[in-house]
Amino acid sequence: MRDVAKSIARGLQKRDPDLLDRLIEQYQYRLFRYLLYITGDKARAEDFFQETWIRVLERGHQFDGKSKFEA
């Protein structure tokens, strides 16, 4: 599992658009369901969903791979 996290970290540091596409594809449903659960509002969940991926794009280079990406 640590190798996967390191691979994600390298891709985010390089701002690899293909990696971001794969991450969104892999995590979109789980993330949206979680956001919908905590907000109770579809529109707010959609806003937070978009903001989350913008932050991944902006700050992903800070992820060092020492923890799970899901965290």
Q: Could you tell me the pLDDT band of residue 9, with boundaries at 50, 70 and 90?
A: confident
Interval 10-60: pLDDT, tens: 888 988 889 989 999 999 999 999 999 999 999 999 999 999 999 998 888
* pLDDT at 5 (0 to 100): 82
By the 8 A CB rule, do 57 and 16 touch? Answer: no
The Cα 21–Cα 50 span in angstroms is: 13
pTM: 0.79
Q: Where in the chain are the domains?
A: 2-60
Phi–psi pair at 64, nearest 5 degrees: -100, -5
